[in-house]
Structure 1
Amino acid sequence: MTTIWHNPRCSKSRQTLALIEEKEGTPNVRLYQDEGPTAEEIKVVLTQLDIEPRALMRTGEALYKELGLKDQNDPDALVQAMVDHPKLIERPVVLKDGKAALGRPPESVLDIL
């Protein structure tokens, strides 16, 4: 089953969801800002994407700057910031069969569908 960490207010997230629905039907939609992922879930996604925590963060968010995360170099602290503030997670994240893809651009998820 495909899962999307979705924010319905985000155009890229909506486009990615539509692409998944077109290819596979209705995925499991997780409104990640309402039901935030755990630190372990984020770490699994980071491993699947083969990226560092900052690469999964919305560094342009005012909250990122307010929390002083630019100067934070501890990966666990960055993961915890995403747990505490799911708004900081880049979206959408698509998960399927032990693989993950970031829907930026939306077509980038096609490799795992």
Structure 2
Amino acid sequence: MTPDEIVIWHNPRCSKSRAALERIEARGLTPRVVRYLDTPPPAEEIARVAAAVGGARALIRKAEPEYKGLGLDDPAKDDDALVAAMAATPRLIERPVVLRGGRAVVGRPTEAIDTLL
């Protein structure tokens, strides 16, 4: 990833993810689109992105059934456990995630990505 490259971890079935992609493209930018459910990022990359957004709890989707089913709502679960869960079950990764120049943001609300654009 080059310093100016924009990457979006995208789920085309998600309205927020589609809105984020449209917002990027409306600025005349062409991001590299990673359909993370089809091509899950490795745990090391998830950990790096989690650190950039404020920790694994900021990157994990708490509304997914697996979140409670795997006991991830237990405050004793550390970032390593959460990252391992997201690597094994990419549906647990919050969406969309936009990356640029070593920085990352979760696009909820969609306007949050403006800090990278």
| TM-score between both structures, scaled by the size of structure 2 | 0.90
How far did residue 26 of structure 1 move?
2.1
Deviations 1:45-81 (A, max 9, x none): 12222x1212211111112122121125122111000
Pairwise mapping of residues 12-51 of structure 1 onto structure 2 (< 5 A)? 12-49=16-53, 51=54
Q: Which moved more, 1:11-20 or 1:99-108?
A: 99-108
Counterpart of 2:94 in structure 1: which amino acid? Answer: E
What RMSD over aligned residues (CA atoms) do the two structures have, in Å?
Answer: 1.1
Q: Compare the two structures and name the one with the higher helix fraction.
A: 1
- The 3-state SS of whatever aligns with 1:70 is coil
**Runs of 5+ consecutive residues of structure 1 not aligned to the other structure:** none
Which among 101, 104, 108 is matched to residue 100 of structure 1? 104
Distance in 1 (CA, whole Å) between partners of 2:28 and 2:86 is 29
- Which residue is 1:81 aligned to? 85
Superposition deviation, residue 24 in structure 1: 3.3
Q: Distance in 1 between matches of 2:80 and 2:66?
A: 18
Residue 61 of structure 2 aligns to a residue in which SS?
coil
Q: Percent identity, aligned pairs only?
A: 53
Residue segments in structure 2 that go unaligned for 5+ positions in a row: none
In structure 2, C-alpha distance between the alignment counterparts of 1:106 and 1:24, rounded to whole Å: 17
Equivalents in 2 of 1:45, 1:100: separation in Å?
6
Q: TM (normalized to structure 1)?
A: 0.93
Deviations 1:13-48 (A, max 9, x none): 000000000113321000001111111111111222
